[in-house]
Amino acid sequence: MATLLLPYAINSSQELVHIDHAHKGDQYTCPICGAGLSLRISKIPQGAKYHRTNHFAHKRGVNNHCSESLLHKLFKEKVADYIRNQIDKQEDAIWFEWECTQCHEQHKGNLIKKAVKVVEELNLQICKPDIALLDKEENVIIVIEIVVKHKPSAETLKYYSDKNIVCLQLEVDDFADCDKIEEKLSNPNYVNRCPNPICNKCGHVMNKIKLVTIATTCWKCGRNMKLAMIVAKNRFNRLSPEEFDNREVATAISLGVNIKPRYSRTMHETYLANTCKHCNAFVGSFYMHEYYHLPHQEELDMGYKCFNCIDIKHQMRAEQYRLQDEEVFDW
């Protein structure tokens, strides 16, 4: 973070004032440490070359820690006041969106769906979240951590996770962010929660999927052919019929896709594949990615699927092939 200048001070009337409303001759002190402050007013007009931002400065030298502390304090108070006002006005929602670090999907949540109370620096023994949102039973359901420089500790994040508390982290860089409360709240930098279901087999977060059909032509005979693939909501994972379950196979067939067991000379095994109805040529799993960017005919929501289990299966298969190769070449 660049040096954070101090734009606010306490005047002789004990009021918090911005540097733009400060006057020479008055006495100013730091809102954080109480030390005396001096005015630093640039003689060069704003926008002109060599203009320096007007600010207050500690008389005993630079103390950037106070600037960071004040930014944290002001932003926290503004966020808490904004949420309180929305609750008091009985607004239905404060929406926020985040990219999940677990499933890599985009999720959306409502800060005040169950919240009825806002508390700053609530003592939870293990930690004191900057802002805590409580439900009707006084249970902490959501916390908001303001990050100017230091993020919550691993111990704190584990506590939130163990207690099933949603944690939003809002990173703040400048005092100008205090005028962007709604924008910052709607796009937190980190959220510790993934709403997707957990796989019963491996315990990993599952991904929302769609079954996609694509009209193309057969690579061998050139006649019309229809393909099906599974695509994860995060767009990173795509599956050929080899990885379809029975319901997904039946759905694809009902949409006019010809899926049959085919033998791959490359893989030396038989698996389900998109197959041409006219010449029986099939599109192998390795080539499916080449068709994804063609126009999609249908996109059907198919619930959730665990791609971690599929990855584990592929790893086990690769290890099996490696051991077989070692046996073949074991002189």
258-270 pLDDT per residue, tens: 999 998 777 678 9
Residue type for position 315: Q
Please state, in angstroms and as integers, the Cα–Cα distance from residue 307 to each residue in 5, 249, 274, following that order: 48, 17, 20
Kindly state whether residues 151 and 215 are assigned to the same domain.
no
Kindly state whether residues 217 and 181 are assigned to the same domain.
no
The number of distinct structural domains making up the chain is: 3
Kindly state whether residues 180 and 257 are assigned to the same domain.
no
Query: Pick from 191, 226, 242: which residue ends a domain?
Result: 191
User: Tens digits of per-residue pLDDT, 58-104?
Assistant: 987 666 689 999 999 999 999 999 999 999 999 899 999 999 999 99
* pLDDT value, residue 61: 63
Whether residue 199 is contained in a domain is answered as no
Angstrom distance (rounded) from CA 102 to CA 193: 9
Give the other-Cβ count within 10 Å of 96's Cβ. 20
Kindly state whether residues 41 and 74 are assigned to the same domain.
no
Angstrom distance (rounded) from CA 7 to CA 256: 67
Angstrom distance (rounded) from CA 74 to CA 236: 40
By residue range, what is the domain housing residue 279? 207-327
Kindly state whether residues 272 and 218 are assigned to the same domain.
yes
Whether residue 161 is contained in a domain is answered as yes
pTM beyond cutoff 0.85: no
Query: Pick from 166, 191, 216: which residue ends a domain?
Result: 191
Spell out, as residue ranges, where the chain has pLDDT lower than 50: none
* pLDDT value, residue 44: 82
* pLDDT value, residue 43: 82
